[in-house]
Structure 1
C-alpha cells in the first residue's frame, strides 16, 4: 500500500499538475492539504474518473484537507477532536480497506506565525489536541498513519539554512517540543527513519530563488504507529515535480507498507 501526503496549495491551481503526478506515482492513497475549496466545489469527478474514492473536508479559500484512495474507505470522520469552536478544516480520518486495514489521518497543522501572538497560541493548542487524538489512535492497536503538512522543522538538519528559521514558529523550541511529545507516544517518523542524512526537503518557497538554490525545509511528515511501522518497506520524496510548470511549493512525500 503506497500512501502519500501532498500539500497542493490550491486545487484550482493544481488541477493539471495533481492528476499528472497521480498517474505517474500511482499512490493507493493520497492525503492532500490546502485544497482551498469548499466540498461542493472540489473537482471530485476528475479523480473519480482515475479510480479514486474522494473524501474532503473543505473550507472556502483557506486550509482544507482531502483523501483520495483507490481502495475502499470506511468510517470517515472530519475535524480534530477537542474544540467544538474550531472552524478551520485541518483534519480528516478514514480506514483504508486493503489486505490489512490502515487508519489514516490527513492533517494540515497550523503555521503559527507571527510569534508571539494568537496564531502561535492556536498552533500549540492544536498540537495538544493532536497529541490527545494520537494517543487515542494508538490505543486501538491498529496500523495508523498520521500524514500531512506538519509545519514543523523537526531539527536543524531539516533546513538548508537553519539560522533563518530560529525565530520562526516552524522551528521554535516549543514547537519542536510539541512535535516530539507526539512522536514519543510511540510513533515512527517514516522518512527520517529510512533516510537519516541531512539535505532532504519537501518545501521550497516561491520567493528569492529558493528552489534554484535548494534552500528548502522538510516539514511534510508521515508518523506511523508501531503496527504500521512494522509494515514499512520504503519512503521517498518526489522532489523533481517542484521544477515543473505551476508547481506547489511543497512536493509529495510517500511511504510503502507491506499490506
Structure 2
C-alpha cells in the first residue's frame, strides 16, 4: 500500500499539479492539507474523474484537509480532533481503508511565538497526543499523516541556528513531537533515512528550493502494528520544482501489509 501526504497550499490553484502527481504516482491513499477552500468548493468531480474517492473537511480561505483513496472508498471515522468543542478550524480527519486507520492532520503553524497562535499550536498538539494515545491503546494499524509544522531535530532544518525562535522549531514544539513519538510511533521517513538531510518544504522566497534550503515538516507516523510493514519512504522532491507548485513536496511510504502485526485483542476488565 502506497500512502502519501501532501500540503497542496490551495487545492483550487494547485489542482492541475495535484492531478498530474496523482496520475504519475498513483498512491492508494493521499492525505491533503491546506485546501484553502470551503466545503462546497472542493473539486470533487475532478478528483473522482482521476480515479479517487474523496473525504474532505473544508474551510474558507484557510486550513482544510482531505483523504483520497484509490479503487474503493474509505469509511469516515472521525471529523475533527477531539478535546475542544469550540475549535472550528478544519485540521483533522480519520478514515478506515483496507484495514488501516488513516489520520490526516494539519497541525497549526503557531507563529508568531510566543503569543496566542503559539498557545493554540501547543494546545492542539496536546489534544493530538491525547487522542493518539487512545488510538495506540487499540493496537490497530494506524498512520498519522500530515503537515505537523515541526522539525524534530537539527537534521530536519537547513541552518537550524536561524530557526531557534520560530514556532516550528522552538523547544516546546519539538518536545511535544517527541512526546507523541515516545508513545511508540515510528517516524517512517527518518527510519528509512536515518542520517540523510531530507526535506519536504521549501519557502518561495530567496531561491530556497534552488539552494535546497528546506525543512522536514511533513511526517507519516506508524503505530506498532504497522511498523513491520514499512518497506520504503521518500519525498517526490521534483514536484516542488514544477510550474506554480505548492511550497511542499509529496511525502510517501510503502507498506507491505502482509508483514503487519495482527491487532492485539483488547484486554478484558479484571473480574471484581
TM-score (norm 1): 0.97
Matched, 1:15 2:10: no
- Tell me what 1:49 maps to: 49
CA contact (8 A) 2:156 2:198 kept: yes
CA-to-aligned-CA distance 1:76-132 (integer Å, 9 cap, x gap): 3210000000010000000012xxx00000000000100110000000000000001
- Tell me what 2:186 maps to: 188
Question: Counterparts of 2:197 and 2:129 in 1: how far apart (Å)?
Answer: 28
Question: Counterparts of 1:76 and 1:182 in 2: how far apart (Å)?
Answer: 21
CA-to-aligned-CA distance 1:41-88 (integer Å, 9 cap, x gap): 101111111221110011000000001001331133210000000010
Q: 2:248 aligns with which of 247, 250, 253?
A: 250
CA contact (8 A) 2:55 2:76 kept: no
Unaligned runs of 5+ in 2: 258-272
- Tell me what 2:78 maps to: 77
Structure 2 counterpart SS, 1:227: coil
Runs (4+) of structure 1 exceeding 4 A deviation are none
Unaligned runs of 5+ in 1: none
- Tell me what 1:237 maps to: 235
The Cα of 1:39 is off from its aligned counterpart by 1.4
CA-to-aligned-CA distance 1:167-195 (integer Å, 9 cap, x gap): 10101111000001100001000000000
- Tell me what 2:39 maps to: 39
CA contact (8 A) 2:54 2:73 kept: no
- Tell me what 1:116 maps to: 114
Moved more, 42-51 or 78-87: 42-51
Structure 2 counterpart SS, 1:16: helix
Matched, 1:92 2:93: yes
Q: CA RMSD of the aligned region, Å?
A: 0.8
The Cα of 1:17 is off from its aligned counterpart by 0.2
TM-score (norm 2): 0.93
Question: Counterparts of 1:121 and 1:240 in 2: how far apart (Å)?
Answer: 35
The Cα of 1:253 is off from its aligned counterpart by 0.4
- Tell me what 1:136 maps to: 134
- Rg: which structure is higher? 2
CA-to-aligned-CA distance 1:171-228 (integer Å, 9 cap, x gap): 1111000001100001000000000123200000001111111100100000000001
Equivalenced residues, count: 256
Structure 2 counterpart SS, 1:147: strand
